[in-house]
Chains A and B, each alone.
Chain A
Amino acid sequence: MAVHETTRATAVRPPNRALRWLRRHIVTIAGLGTLGYLILPNLVVMVFSFNKPNGRFNYQWTRFSTDAWTDPCGVADMCGSLGLSLEIAVWATVGATVLGTMIAFALARYRFRARGGVGTLIFLPMAMPEVVMAASLATLFLNMGIQFGFWTILIAHITFCLSFVVTAVKARVMSMDPRLEQAAQDLYATPVQTFLRVTLPIAAPGIAAGALLSFALSFDDFIITNFNAGSTVTFPMFVWGSAQRGTPVQINVIGTAMFLVAVLCVFVGRTAGKKRRQRS
C-alpha cells in the first residue's frame, strides 16, 4: 500500500520537480539576471576596447586590434583630462572629508540649537536633482563674475560630496559605544588623546567610506561639472564631447582599466585583510 503510494507520487513528480526547482530558485535566477544587466555594459566596453572601428564612432564591431591598448594616450587631450579629473577628485575628497567629518561629529555627539536646520541643510543637497544644484551654483559664479575653471569645479564637487561624507561618518559615530571614550578618559587619556587614539580609529571606516564615495562621485561627475567648468575639460566631459564628435577606442581602454584596477584593489585588500585576520 505504502509502496504503491510512493511510486505514484514519483510518477507524477517529474514535471512538478522542474517547476518546484524553478519556484525555489526563482529569486536567485532573477537576481543573477539583474546582475547580468548591471555587468553587460562593462563587458561591452571591455570587448570594444579591442575593436578597430572604420569610422569615428566605436559602436560597431569591425575587427580585433590591440592598437588602443598599446597607445592609450594616443588621443589628443584625453590623458590630460584624466589627470585633471584625478587631481580634482583628490582635492574634493580631502575638502569634503574634513568638513563633512567635523559636521558628522557635531551631529552625532552633541546637542545644540538649530540641529534640525543643520540636518535639513545636509539633506537638501542629496534630495535635489543635480541639474538644479549645477545651475544655481553656476548662477552664483556668473553673478560674482568668477572665472569658470579648476576652482569652480573643485568648489562644486566639495559642495555635493559634503553631504554624503556627513551621512557616512555620522552613521559610524552614532553606532559607536560612548563608553569607549569614557573608558579612555578613565585610563588617563586627555580629551585630545581620547580623540586621536580611540574616537578617530574607530570612526575611521566610516570616514574612509565617505572619502571613497566622494572620490568616486567627484571623479565621475558630469552634470554639475558641465555647468561650472567653462572651457576646462575633465574626463567625463571629454567622453561627452567625443559622443558628439566621435568616440575613440581609447575611452574604452580607460574605462576597462579603471574597472580592472578597482576589482584588483578590492581583491588585494580583501585577501590582505583575511591574511592579517588569520595570522592573529
Chain B
Amino acid sequence: MTTTETPAPPERPDTADSLEIRTTPVRKRLIPYWLLLPGILWLIVFFAAPLVYQASTSLQTGSLEEGFKVTWHVATYWDALAEYWPQFVRSVAYAAVATVLCLALGYPLAYLIAFKAGRWRNVVMILVIAPFFTSFLIRTLAWKTILADGGPVVGALNHLHVLDVTSALGITEGHRVLATPLAVVCGLTYNFLPFMVLPLYTSLERIDPRLHEAAGDLYARPATTFRRVTFPLSMPGVVAGTLLTFIPAAGDYINAELLGSTDQKMIGNVIQSQFLRVLDYPTAAALSFILMAAILAMVTLYIRKSGTEDLV
C-alpha cells in the first residue's frame, strides 16, 4: 500500500442522513463563467459596444467642426441607400459571381487533394496554403502585371476574340481586362479561393472512399455517385466555403480599388472613403449597418435553406 495524504474519513452520520441529495459545489459550477469572463468581456467592449456606438452614430447629424449629436435622423439611411444603391447591387453581384466561381474552381481541387493526390496530398496542400504567407496585397498587385494591357494574357484573349465577346456582354471594355468588372471578379475569386478549398477538403476528406465503391456496386455511374453521394455528403463544406467566400467578398474594397476603375467601386470603397476621407461618419455608419443587416439576412436565409443550422 502506498501512502495517501487523505485526511481521516469524514464523520458521516449514518444511513438516514446520507440519503440526502448531494449537489455540485458552487465553486465548481462557476468555473465556466471564470473561463468565459475575460474573452467575453473583451468581445463586449471591443465588438458589441462599437456596434452600438455605430448605431448611434448613424442617427447623428452635425459636422466635424460643431460635433455630432444624436438627432434620430433616420433619413441618413434613405439618403445613403438612394445615393449608393448601385454600389450595393454591384457588391452583392460581384461577391455572388466570385463565390460561384470559387465553388466551381475549388471543388475539383479539393476533390483532387482528398481522393486523387495520394502521396502528393501534402505537397498540394502546402501549395494551397503557402501563398497565404505572401501578403495578399502583394499578390493582388501581381494581377496587375498578369492582366496588364500589353501582357500575354490580354494578348491571347484578344487573339482568340474572347474580349470581343466579353465586351459585348459588358464585363470588359475595349481590348483590356484591367479596370473592368472581369478583373475585379477575377481578383475576388483568387483572393478567397483558399477559403473555399479548405472547408471543402475537410468535409470531402471525411467521406469514406468505400462509399464510392458501394455506390458503384449499386449501379451508380460516376456522375450519379457524385450527385447522389459525394456532393450531398460534402454539403457542410459547401455551405461553410460559400459563407467564408461571400461574406468577405461582399465587404471587400481592395480588389475594386487595385484592379478596377471608378465604375467598379463596391460598397466597401464607399464606406472607406466616407469614413477616412470625407469624414462623414453618420453616412459611413449607416452604410455599414445596411451592409451588415443585408449580409446577416442573406446568411440566415441561406443557412436555413441549406438545412445546416448546426454549422456554428
Contact = CB atoms under 8 A, between A and B. Distances in A.
Touching in the complex, A and B, CB below 8 A? yes
B112 interface: yes
Contacts of A33: 105, 108
Interface string B130-161: 11111111111111111010100000000000
Nearest to B140: A41
B166 interface: no
A31 B193 CA distance: 12
A198 B303 CA distance: 37
Given A106-B35, A135-B285, A35 B295 contact: no
Interface string A144-165: 0000000000011011001000
B218 interface: no
Interface residues of A, number: 83
B39 interface: yes
Interface in B106-135: 106, 108-113, 116, 122, 124, 126-135
B190 interface: yes
B66 to A, nearest CB: 15
B72 interface: no
B16 interface: no
Interface string A26-44: 0110111111011111101
Given A59-B145, A138-B275, A258-B135, A38 B40 contact: no
Nearest to B91: A129
Given A48-B145, A106-B35, A125-B43, A255 B139 contact: yes
B271 A135 contact: yes
B32 interface: yes
Interface stretch (B74-82, B168-176, B207-215, B249-257): B249-257
Given A44-B142, A99-B39, A136-B54, 5 more contacts: A27-B111, A106-B36, A118-B36, A220-B136, A222-B136
Interface of B: 31-33, 35-36, 38-40, 42-44, 46-51, 53-54, 57, 105-106, 108-113, 116, 122, 124, 126-146, 148, 150, 190, 193-194, 197, 243, 247-248, 250-254, 258, 268, 271-272, 275-276, 281, 284-285, 288-289, 291-292, 295-296, 299, 312
6 contacts: A38-B131, A111-B32, A128-B247, A129-B248, A129-B250, A222-B136
Interface of A: 27-28, 30-35, 37-42, 44-45, 48, 59-60, 99-100, 102-103, 105-106, 109-112, 118-119, 121-125, 127-133, 135-140, 142-143, 155-156, 158-159, 162, 166, 216, 219-220, 222-223, 226-227, 235-236, 239-240, 243, 247, 251-252, 254-256, 258-259, 261-263, 266-267, 270
